[in-house]
Amino acid sequence: MSRIGNNPVAIPEGVTVDVKDGVVTVKGKLGELTQEYSEVTIKVEEGDILVTRPSDSVNHKAKHGLYRSLMFNMIEGVSKGWTKELELVGVGYRASNQGQKLDLALGFSHNIVIDLAPEVKVETISEKGKNPIVKLTSYDKQLVGQVAAKIRSFRKPEPYKGKGIKFVGEELRRKAGKSA
């Protein structure tokens, strides 16, 4: 059984944590995040955040670990930030960006143009002989993951040749083609 909720979350230099009325606010050099919470107690003591639960019921145990993980992700985000990298595998697949607009050529009859949230910074890397890479960076882990999943959903990797949009480092389950 997981005991992740019992571990304290260390607060690094330059990060301030404010807890009041069921809302935690975390401010750092990269931005500010807020999170509502319920059924657990969150205290800031001696440079650590402690999450405690009132009983050992299943619901309290689940929320105990959940809110501890959310606090860790918020603190990590406002101090260091989160990054997701997507790789476009396929002949003619291209990516380019102008500010917050991401332009994807994925083999459809038209390009897909996405307007990204201002919190997410986008960067496209295109080197000759290598697959294009889309790099997403933000202080909000949930938002980065959501945007990356949306981009990936336009052309998921297929199991035979592996063409599509995949996360960098993702292992794909490949299938054998027709038997001769």
Structure confidence by residue, pLDDT tens digits, 35-78: 999 999 999 998 999 999 999 999 999 999 999 999 999 999 99
User: Is 147 in a helix, a strand, or coil?
Assistant: helix
Contact residues for 162 (Cβ-Cβ < 8 A; gap 6+): 89, 172, 174
C-alpha 175/C-alpha 111 separation (Å) is 29
Query: For residue 123, with 0-12 CB atoms within 10 Å meaning exposed, 13-18 middle and 19 or more buried, which class applies?
Result: middle
- DSSP element (H, E) containing 117: none
Query: For residue 160, with 0-12 CB atoms within 10 Å meaning exposed, 13-18 middle and 19 or more buried, which class applies?
Result: exposed
How many CB atoms neighbour CB 87 within 10 A?
A: 20
Average pLDDT of the chain is 93
C-alpha 32/C-alpha 127 separation (Å) is 35
Structure confidence by residue, pLDDT tens digits, 129-166: 999 999 999 999 999 999 999 999 999 999 999 999 99
pLDDT score for 1: 46
C-alpha 110/C-alpha 117 separation (Å) is 22
Extract the tokens encoding 171.
């292992």
Q: What is the DSSP string of 13-33?
A: TT-EEEEETTEEEEE-SS-EE
Indicate the pTM of the whole model.
0.90
